[in-house]
Amino acid sequence: MQRQLKCAMGQGPCDAAGRRLKVLAPLVLHGACPQCSPQEIRQIRRTLAYVQRNYPWEWAKIVRHYG
């Protein structure tokens, strides 16, 4: 999880999943992701909720970065 968080913030390398999350998460945060399937939206929301609960400081940074 730490690797993915660093990837999202541009502080570390990204794997394929991290790159996809980095591109799609801001769209989901803003309530629209036209290229996402319903399953992808559910998975991204679940991942973002997990980060929100378990990594509140990192979540605040992500919201500031992509907000």
What is the residue extent of each domain of the chain? 1-7+34-67
- pLDDT for res 66: 77
Q: What is the DSSP string of 14-58?
A: --HHHHHHHHHHHHHHTT--TT--HHHHHHHHHHHHHHHHH-HHH
- pLDDT for res 53: 95
Look up tokens 């996402």; give the residue: 36
- pLDDT for res 28: 77
pLDDT digits (tens, 9 = 90+) for 30-65: 878 888 888 988 888 888 899 899 999 988 988 888
Q: Among 30, 14, 23, 25, which Cα is nearest to 47's?
A: 25
- pLDDT for res 21: 78
pLDDT tops 80 at residue 67: no
